[in-house]
Each structure stands twice: as C-alpha cells, then as structure tokens.
Amino acid sequence: MARVGYIGLGLMGAPMARNLMGAGHDLVVHNRSRAIVEQLASEGATPATSPREVAEQSDFVFTNLPDSPDVELVVLGADGVLAGAHAGMIYIDNSTIKPETARRIAAELEKVGAAGLDAPVSGGDIGAKAGTLSIMVGGPQEAYDRALPLFEVLGKTITRVGDSGAGQIAKAANQTVVAGTMVAMCEALVLAQKAGVDPARVVQAISRGAAQCWALDNKPAKLFKRDLAPGFKAYMQAKDLKIVVDTGRTYEVPLPLTAVTHQIFEAMIGMGNGDLDNSAVITVLEALASVQVGQAE
Amino acid sequence: MARVGYIGLGLMGAPMARNLMGAGHDLVVHNRSRAIVEQLASEGATPATSPREVAEQSDFVFTNLPDSPDVELVVLGADGVLAGAHAGMIYIDNSTIKPETARRIAAELEKVGAAGLDAPVSGGDIGAKAGTLSIMVGGPQEAYDRALPLFEVLGKTITRVGDSGAGQIAKAANQTVVAGTMVAMCEALVLAQKAGVDPARVVQAISRGAAQCWALDNKPAKLFKRDLAPGFKAYMQAKDLKIVVDTGRTYEVPLPLTAVTHQIFEAMIGMGNGDLDNSAVITVLEALASVQVGQAE
C-alpha cells in the first residue's frame, strides 16, 4: 500500500480521497477550509497543514482544485507541493486546467527527480463516489504505470493520452463536445416548442439516428420536469470552455462553435443560473425565444 | 396491396421506391431525368409522364426532392400532384423542406379530399436501401395510420410527431443536433492535432462519457484514413441548416449555435467540398488552423 496525499477535498476530491483510503492506502489530506479535513481525519486520514507537508509524507500527491491559478499556487507557491517534493514522488493533478500550466508544473517537478501527471476526470460527483470516472492522463509512461493501480481505484475508463499536458488537451476536447451537444440539443428543443410541436415526441423521433448523443439520451426527461439541479454545474462548464478557447488561442486553432457555446454559458451565469446543471443552458435559449420547454401535449 | 406512386428517384428515392415495389405494391414512377424511370420500369414499375399522371393512378403518392421550391413545383405546379389528386389519396413527402411549405401543401390537398403527410427521413442512402430509415411524420392521425404499413417497409423508427409540419420540425431539430455534434467533434480533433496530441487517443479517452455521440462513434476512424466520401453530402447538410435557420426566424427562435454550424458548412461548400461527407466539415476547421488531422503517432 502506498502513502497517498490528497489536496482539494471538494465535491470531487473528497469522495476520490475516500475511495483511495477505502482501498487501503495511507492517506494524508489538506484543504483550505478545515471542516472536511477534520471529517476525513475522523475516518482515518492524517491531516496536514500545508501542501509541502503532504508532499513530504507521500509517494503520490493528488490535487483537485478549481482552476489553473489555484493549482499553480498549491504546487509552486510557498509551502507548496514542489517545496516538499522528493525523488520518486509522483504528483497527479485531477483538476481541469490549462495544458501549458500542467506542462510547466511537470517540468519543475522533474528538476527535483519527481514526476507530474495531468489527470483530469469526467463523470461528475456520482462517478467520483462510485469510482467510475473517466480519467485522461498526460505524462511519462513510467509514472503512469506506477500510478495506474490508484487510477483504477478512482475510475473505470483510464487512458494515457500522451505526454505532459495531453490529459488536459483531451479534457478540453471532451468539454468542446459536451457543451456543443448540450447547446445543440437545447436549440432543437426550444425550436420544437415554439413551433408548437411536442419536444418529447421530437426527442423520440431523432434520438436513435445520427443525432444520438449522451445529452439527448440523458437530459430531456429532466428538463421537461424542470429538474435543473446539478450534475455538472454550469459555471464549471463555462470555466472549462474558457480553458478550451484559451488553449485554441495558444495553439492558433480558431474554434468558432466552441466560442459560441462559451458565450452562451457565460450568458447563463449572467442570468444567475451558474449553479444549475449544464443542461439548464436551455434557460438561455428559452430567454432568447421567449418560451419555456415542457410537455406540449 | 396498394397503388403507390413515387416521384423523385434520386439517391434516396430510387431505393425507397424499389423497397415499396419489393413489398408487392403496384408502383408508378416519375422523375425529371428519365434513365432511372426506364430502369425501374424494366424492374416492373409503371412509368408516368407527369406528377399529375402519377397521382391519378395512385392511392399513395410519395415525393423525394431536393428542396422546398422543387416540392412546391411538383405538387402545386402545372400537371402537378394536386391536379391529379382525388378523394382519399394520401400524399407523402419524404423530402426535407420548410415546415410552412408542408403545411400549405397539406391544406391545399385537404380541399380536394386528399391528405398530406410530411415524412422526412434520416439514415442516408444506406438506410434507404436497407429499409432502416428513421421517419418523422407530421399530419392527420387517420392518414398516418393508413400509411403506416408503407412506412414500415421503408424504415425502422417511425414516429408521428404531430400535426402537419411537425415531421419537418423534427427533421430540423435532428439536423441541428447532427451538424452541431459533427462540428464540435471536428473542433476537438483539430485542437488535439495542433496541440501535438494523437486525436485517436483523445477519441478513445472521451467517447464513453458525456461526450458520447453518434458522430464520435462513427466518423473519426474514417477521417483519420482520409475517407471523406459520402454518406450524407455536405451541400445537403448546408441546405437543411438553411431551412433550420429560416424556420427559427419564422418562429422567432434565435439559434446562435446552428447559425455558426450553418456558416461553417457554407464555408465548406465555398472550398469546393460540398460533395464530400458532412463529417468532412473538418476540412474547414483544418483550414482555419493550418493543420490536417491524422494518426499523430
């Protein structure tokens, strides 16, 4: 069993840390707000007072944080993971951040004989609890091989996509398609509703052909019941889309469709709906069309 | 067995007409270019010289034509279907056209005691040949019930979506999602390629989660082999998207994402790629990013 550290015990991080502990690993934890640290300590984890302290006591150090600046601060800042890193330590970032940031952090860790893996996840808090996440990994093959037993505790579909940053590129690609299908589906439903056609029948008519997608399979029933609870919160979707568009700029890849989906999700946040599910982006299209989708008949 | 007419014997219409004949119906056919008419006559169909003549000899009259003006001409024009329509005749349009045109034609037919069903299809020429199309039907329940045995010869998923025009609304919704998922997938693949990550591994990493869609399941392998043959031709996709955007304007439904996908498909036609598969819309994103997607490693 390995000595495992986990920093960032939010909606995703806490259940992932618990699963690692449940698999028999010695868990050291750190978080900005302390309540969850004390909770996990009561379940058997060792609390630490800084990311540096977590790193000093661990063979594998995970982070799960909101955005790129948070990860930079926790790894490269004072008393950060880098300050406590040691030869052979593997740092694994489950956050969704910019690929460039992931690459820079991996390069810094390499200088002290440690390794960095970017390993963003998909599957939401349900997947985090159930240990069924998709994990997209970038970084050295050898570090990946050593970390694989831990990934297998956390997820079901685990893919080493390529070198450092490749996991974040895959996550960006994922979010492009997730948001694109979601907004396209919402436009289709709003058009049907406003044209006087039952959107539920439209879903029935189109969902088994070339329009088939996860969004269409999973979201309409909830939307028709006005169940807009997350799931995956819209403000996180918007944050991820900003990363996609910024990454496009970095690599000189114009992304006209993703730019529009990003703006539509920003509009959703502007409407005060950022804490709803990403499928609730339908509220933006409904506002534009002055209509509300529901059972028409 | 019914007397069935079929007008418009193109890539879709010819195999659909053949399937109706194969199911034992008496088939009367008409087409602007005569070669396919003679071919089907040699297989047992009765050739006609005008849409009026087809209607006069048939209980059910199908059309399968490129666009709204073609359907208007063939049905409402001189020697058109309406001129040969009779009480109890059912007109079935398998074309993808504007919902308003479908409603107007159905109203004209009703005046002479006939009925009109809009019944656009999805599934391509492969589905047309195999009799596995999705058929989205709008129009009176009674006419739908009478036509259902014929639909069951042509397709697998048959849905009466609602009243006249509802089939075309469902098709518009279908094309919104089909084109949206296709362009989103292409942006994701181009981003991965230009960022130096193998797009095939990205597909592997993301295709079993919330990004799952028909496009991602069916198209990447062909795109990586540079197999851009249709399938569903891009210029037809662009034509259908124009109908979607026009329909949005009719019902005052702004469709920001579909407007962008429409423009991207128009760009593809401008590049001279309109005869390629709709998945070859990746050539537009590749041109914008100065890169070509393929196996990176």
Token output for A87:
């030869």
Per-residue pLDDT reduced to its tens digit, B99-115: 999 999 999 999 999 99
Contacts of A3 (CB under 8 A, 6+ apart): A25, A26, A28, A57, A58, A59, A60
pLDDT at B297: 43
Give the number of domains in chain B.
Answer: 2
* CB spacing of B216 vs A177 below 8 angstroms: yes
B158 and B127, same structural domain? yes
- For A210, the closest of B122, B136, B202 (CB atoms) is B122
Interface test with B, best of A135, A181, A290 (most B CBs within 10 A): A181
Query: What H or E segment, with its residue span, contains residue B182?
Result: helix B166-194
B29 or A1, greater pLDDT: B29
A177 has a chain B CB within 8 A of its CB: yes
For residue B48, tell me if it sits in a domain: yes
For residue B295, tell me if it sits in a domain: no
For residue A72, tell me if it sits in a domain: yes
A204 has a chain B CB within 8 A of its CB: yes
Interface test with A, best of B101, B154, B156, B169 (most A CBs within 10 A): B169
* CB spacing of B191 vs A159 below 8 angstroms: no
Give the CATH number, domain containing residue B113.
Answer: 3.40.50.720
Q: Which of A136, A162, A188 is the last residue of a domain?
A: A162
CB neighbourhood size of B103 (10 A):
19
* CB spacing of B195 vs A251 below 8 angstroms: yes
Chain A nearest CA to B286, separation (Å): 9
Q: Are A129 and A15 contacting, i.e. CB atoms less than 8 angstroms apart?
A: yes
* CB spacing of A177 vs B257 below 8 angstroms: no
B231 and B177, same structural domain? yes
3 state SS of A230: coil
Give the CATH number, domain containing residue B231.
Answer: 1.10.1040.10
List the single residue in A with minimal CA-CA distance to B162. A197
Tally A–B CB contacts below 8 A: 276
Q: What is the largest CA-CA distance in chain B?
A: 65
A158 and A51, same structural domain? yes
In the predicted structure, residue B120 carries a pLDDT above the cut 80: yes
Pairing mode, strands A60-63 and A90-93? parallel
Per-residue pLDDT reduced to its tens digit, B157-171: 999 999 999 999 999
A230 and A129, same structural domain? no
B172 has a chain A CB within 8 A of its CB: yes
A194 has a chain B CB within 8 A of its CB: yes
Closest CA to B192 of B216, B213, B168: B216
Q: So what's the ipTM on this one? A: 0.96
For residue A129, tell me if it sits in a domain: yes
* B135 band by pLDDT with thresholds 50, 70 and 90: very high
Clarify whether A233 is annotated catalytic. Answer: no
Dist CA B233 CA B225 (whole Å): 18
pTM of the complete model beyond 0.80: yes
Per-residue pLDDT reduced to its tens digit, A55-104: 999 999 999 999 999 999 999 999 999 999 999 999 999 999 999 999 99
Torsion over CA: B282, A188, B241, A246 (sign) = negative
In the predicted structure, residue A296 carries a pLDDT above the cut 60: no
For residue A295, tell me if it sits in a domain: no
pLDDT at A86: 98
List the single residue in A with minimal CA-CA distance to B255. A187
Q: Are A178 and A231 contacting, i.e. CB atoms less than 8 angstroms apart?
A: no
Closest CA to A84 of A98, A74, A92: A74
pLDDT at B231: 87
Interface test with B, best of A176, A245, A261 (most B CBs within 10 A): A176
Domain that holds residue A86: 3-162
B130 has a chain A CB within 8 A of its CB: no
Q: Are A268 and A284 contacting, i.e. CB atoms less than 8 angstroms apart?
A: yes
A53 and A79, same structural domain? yes
